Every structure is written in C-alpha cells, then in structure tokens.
Structure 1
Amino acid sequence: MNLSLRVHGRRPDGFHAITTVLQTIDLCDRLRVSRTDSTAPLALELPDGGAPEDDSNLVLVAARAFFEAIGEPARGVRFELRKSIPAGSGLGGGSSDAAGTLAALQELWGEPLGSDDLRAVAAAVGSDVPFFLVGGTVLATGRGEELRALPDIGTASVVVAVPAVEVSTEEVFRCWSGVRSPVGEHRGVDVLPAEAARAEAASWLRGNDLEPVARRLHPEVDRLLLAWRAAAPGRSDRGPQVSGSGGAVFGIGSWKDAERAVEGLGVRVIRTATRRRRRGVDSDS
C-alpha cells in the first residue's frame, strides 16, 4: 500500500513522475508455480476467479518477459493463482503476482539472472513490480521503479476497506490535474535516514495526490472516506487514506467504530498488518 504518494507531473515517456513511500502488508494472493513438459505452453489457472486468465494477466506477462531475458522459449510452466487482493483496489495485486512469478522462475531455473537484470525485467513488466521483489518499507521515485529501502517500520495493525468498484489506474492518472491532496502534507517525504529510523507506520501518512481524483471518479470511494472519518473524528494522523489510485482505503491501528460504520456501505473490510522486507535486503540500498 502507499503510505504517501506525490505526483510531480507527466514525463516525456508518458509515465508520471512520483515520490511514494510503499509498504507491504500480510494480505496476499497465493501463486503455485510448477514445471511441466518442456514442450507445453504456459498455463494459468485461477480456480476462484478474480482476474483474467488470458495473456493480459501479469503472471503470464512476467513469465514471457523472464524467458525472453534468459533467451529461452516461454513454455513448460503451469501457474495456479488464488486471488485474495481485490482487483483495481490500489493494493498492487497484479504487480505482486508478477513479482512472485519472477522470483519463482528465477529459483526454478537456477538463478540465471543477476539481481540488477531481474529488477530490470520487473520494471519492464510494471512500475511497482520491482518493489514487490523487496518488500518492507521503501521510498520509490521515478515512475515507481527507483527504490531506496528505508528502515522497516515493524509490525503495525492495518484495517483496509475495499468498495465494490474496480478503479482504473490509467484513468486516475489521466484525470489527475496537479491538485494536491487535502489530507495531510507531503512534508519531506524523502526524509533523512535518521528520521526514517525513528518512524512508525502512522508517521508516513502524508497524503495521496491521487485521492481527490479517485473520489471524484468513484462516489463509492468518497462515501467510504466520509463515513470512516465521521465515525472516528480526531484520528487523521492514522488515516483513513486511499492507497495508490484507489479504491482501497486504509488506516493504521484499531478502528472498531469505523469498521462498523463502513460495513454498512457494503464494503469488504480486511484486518491485516504491515510486513517486513525480505531477508537479505538492507536499508538504504
């Protein structure tokens, strides 16, 4: 999820330049990867649905990119994906699936790619895919692919509410007009490591420039935020805030009164927690 997100403007390549603090949480999809007959085409199954099974699925996009990078035919692998992360929620479900695919294939094929090459493949698949190879608390710049690992904030409870709407990231960025979020201030989001080392999860909640756009495009997101804030006044330092381009809204800590209020809107409420980065990845790397 995005603890903070600032959009700086459109780049010459068509992407938007951003600065964001990203944080992994325990909510995750389940991906099983197994080798099959070397002549068999790539196969993807989604027993519970929740995402397309065609070539647009980022699992298959990532697999094809991996095999192209190592110079081998894209075949001989079966993927079974069980979705828990709602599509179009701003929680990075597709990107995390892509990162899981790359990590699994890298291991199954005997680590043919160096770490820099693997990150380059991930960035070609999606702007935030490299982040999911690392996890934890990370400062991302560029279009989201340039990473600086921050000291982990540790484990904190998180409540996520997801309205019954699938938000298009492309549409939200297209409609962004440079208006800053009224929620919080982006005060020095690229803080010095000394401050970052003292940070807890809530201290990174400094606004999301895409939140006003998501609220304008999707009334469901607007109603969710209004109901949550009305049920828990005086706690804006811990949320709620839109993640990414929406429509998921999250808060740090316990929100029992707010949970009851938003459940009346028919949203999906998820209780989860922040997750530390993968072993072997240091801060400020």
Structure 2
Amino acid sequence: MRRDFVEIRAYCKINLALDILRLREDGYHEVEMILQTIPLWDTVTLRRTAGSEWRKPVTITSNAQWLPQDEKNTAYRAAYLLARDFSRVDTGTEIHIDKKVPRCGGLGGSSADAAAVLKGMNQLYDLGLSDETLLQYAAQIGSDVPFLLRSGAAVATGTGTELRYIEPFRDGILLLVNPNIDICTPEAYRVYDFLEARGEIPPGAHPDILETVRSMQQSIEKLSEKMKNVLEYPAFYLHPELAELKASLLKHGASAALMSGSGATFFGFFRKGEAQAALQAADFFQGKGYFTFVSGDLTM
C-alpha cells in the first residue's frame, strides 16, 4: 500500500564520556565516547510531493527559522542521497522538522533529524533497506548519525561511527540545561587541538571508557566519579561561564554533571526520589532564560 507521509521521532543523545585519542591524517579526530539516547526529540514528517514540485527533489520546512533548507542541512543530505540512488523515490519529498532540540548544543539534534529522514525515506518509498545499508548511508552524513538510527547506549570509536551497544544507564532523573550559547563542533575541536598543543589538557581529563561503562551498571555515585568529557576544556576556554553552570548544577543537587558532546548543553543526574530537587533546579535555570528539560526516563 502506497504511503503519502510518515512521521518519525528523532531522539537526541547525551555523552556520558568523550575522549579524543588523536588527530588523523585525513583531518578527522579519532574518538572514543559513550552515547545514550534520551526522551527529547524533534518530530520529522516526510510527505510525497507531485507535479511541478517534483522538479525540486527535497524541500525542507521547519518551525525553526534558523534551520538551513539546503545541502547544509543534514536531513536534506540524507534525503538527497536516497533520492539519487533509488528509482523507487519517484516523487519529490517535503520534509518538515518540528524542532525541540537546541541547536549547536552537543545533543546531536541535526544528526538525529538525518537519521530520522533515512528511516522515513525507507518507509515512505518502501525501499526495503537493511539496517546495515542504512548505517552505510548514515556514516556518509555525520559521525553521530549511525548511532541515532536506533535507541539505547553504545561505545563509539573511530570517527564515532564504529559502535558497540551496551546497557544504558537508567538509575536517576535527568536534567538538561542549555544556556543559549552556540558552540559548533568544528570550533570545539580546533580549540581542543590548540590547547592540547600547548599542554593545557591534563592527563586526568581523559575518561577511562571501560571503567565508565562498568560504573553505568553500579550507581549514580560511581558514574559521577568516571564521567569525563575532554571537550569541556575548549568550551570553558571559549565561554568561562560554562564552568559556573556545571558547578551550579551540582550545587542545586545533581549527583553527577557533565557537558554533552561539544556543548554547550550540560546535563545533571539526580537520584531517584529527588524529582523535586530536579524540578527546582530547572525552575532556577529557566529563571535565567535557559532551556531546560527534565525526565525520569533516561533512555528510549
């Protein structure tokens, strides 16, 4: 039966650990990190277009005026790749992205949108693509896109596209805080390289990924001891007030706090039973004009 539209939830992620191992000869960074999807999402709707609209194979619309509507948009690139390679994509595709995930926030929002488009195109045009094939396309678009094709938690290595799935961390309440500061990923990595060359990334900044994975199945206190993100250093260099934000999360009762990805979103884990403290902390940060999100479910 022919479908005219599909709607997909594009779940974003947090990083429970992020390490940079080296700068590769191809200009990309070798990384090792722990990612986990969380119940915050954009809604991506794909519709077939017909008639003269077919002359434009991909059209992007959004409630977010800042969102690119051309090949700069990862969702656009995802749709274009499949339209180019499969004759079953026999109409144009209109993609509407209802944005809820903060931009340039280290949560993988644009990557999640691209992953949703790959899944949505596969359904809309009945392409019959396997998970492995979708992963191959995802890796062409961005380093977080392969992970965000499915839910759960994983250790990512290489450029972030080599995945080993693990049990998610579930024991707590999540609070996200974004202070409306944009840190684009390329800038964060450039500043990291600058600081590392000057010897300003201390050895203790690097997470032990294996020990962090183990701590995820122990307790929130154990996880707090192991969670590290080396990209906090360039973030604090660019925006010193972010160090204050992390400290404020802990001051307001979070048992663990960390920046996600390249920032500038921070997350705090509160113990089960401390929902009121998490909500009060969210109220405090909302009063400063920050984006916040609270959930008792830690993964999808």
Task: Give the TM-score band, short-chain normalised.
Answer: 0.7 to 0.9
Q: Give the partner amino acid of 2:188.
A: V
Q: Separation in 2 of the partners of 1:97 and 1:134?
A: 12
TM-superposition CA deviations, 1:21-62 (whole Å, max 9, x none) = 101111100111111227342111113435222331111011
Which residue of the partner structure matches residue 259 of structure 1?
Answer: 282
Is it true that 1:6 corresponds to 2:19 in the alignment?
Answer: yes
Kept in 2: contact 1:154–1:200 (CA 8 A): no
Question: Normalising by the residue count of structure 2, what TM-score does the alignment of the two structures yield?
Answer: 0.80
Q: Separation in 1 of the partners of 2:135 and 2:261?
A: 21
Kept in 1: contact 2:104–2:184 (CA 8 A): yes
SS in 1 for 2:21: strand
Q: Separation in 2 of the partners of 1:222 and 1:81?
A: 32
Change (3 A) 1:93 1:180: farther
TM-superposition CA deviations, 1:153-172 (whole Å, max 9, x none) = 34742100001111111000
Which residue of 4, 12, 22 corresponds with 2:35?
22
Q: Separation in 2 of the partners of 1:199 and 1:71?
A: 50
Kept in 2: contact 1:227–1:262 (CA 8 A): no
- 1:229 Cα offset (Å): 3.2
Select between 148-157 and 100-109 the one with higher mean Cα deviation: 148-157
Q: Separation in 1 of the partners of 2:91 and 2:221?
A: 44
TM-superposition CA deviations, 1:66-100 (whole Å, max 9, x none) = 22343677951111111000101001100000000
Question: Normalising by the residue count of structure 1, what TM-score does the alignment of the two structures yield?
Answer: 0.84
Which residue of 147, 160, 165 corresponds with 1:144?
160
In structure 1, the gaps of 5 or more residues are 277-285
In structure 2, the gaps of 5 or more residues are 1-13
Q: Separation in 2 of the partners of 1:207 and 1:105?
A: 36
Task: Give the aligned CA root-mean-square deviation in angstroms.
Answer: 2.7
Q: Give the partner amino acid of 2:266.
A: V
Q: Separation in 2 of the partners of 1:197 and 1:218?
A: 29
Q: Separation in 1 of the partners of 2:127 and 2:243?
A: 45
SS in 1 for 2:210: coil
Q: Separation in 1 of the partners of 2:211 and 2:85?
A: 35
Which residue of 34, 45, 50 corresponds with 2:47?
34
Kept in 2: contact 1:64–1:74 (CA 8 A): no
Q: After the TM superposition, which parts of structure 1 deviate over 4 Å for at least 4 consecutive aligned residues?
A: 71-75, 180-183, 199-205
Which residue of the partner structure matches residue 112 of structure 2?
Answer: 96
Kept in 2: contact 1:16–1:143 (CA 8 A): yes
Q: Separation in 1 of the partners of 2:90 and 2:247?
A: 47
Change (3 A) 1:103 1:156: farther
Relative to total residues, which structure has the larger strand share, 1 or 2? 2
Which residue of the partner structure matches residue 217 of structure 1?
Answer: 238
Which residue of 198, 206, 228 corresponds with 2:217?
198
Q: Give the partner amino acid of 1:246.
A: G
Relative to total residues, which structure has the larger helix share, 1 or 2? 2
Kept in 2: contact 1:155–1:275 (CA 8 A): no
**Equivalent pairs, count:** 269
% identical aligned pairs: 28
Kept in 2: contact 1:45–1:53 (CA 8 A): yes
Which residue of 125, 129, 144 corresponds with 1:109?
125
Change (3 A) 1:227 1:132: same
TM-superposition CA deviations, 1:144-200 (whole Å, max 9, x none) = 1000110233474210000111111100001103315867x623x13598x478356
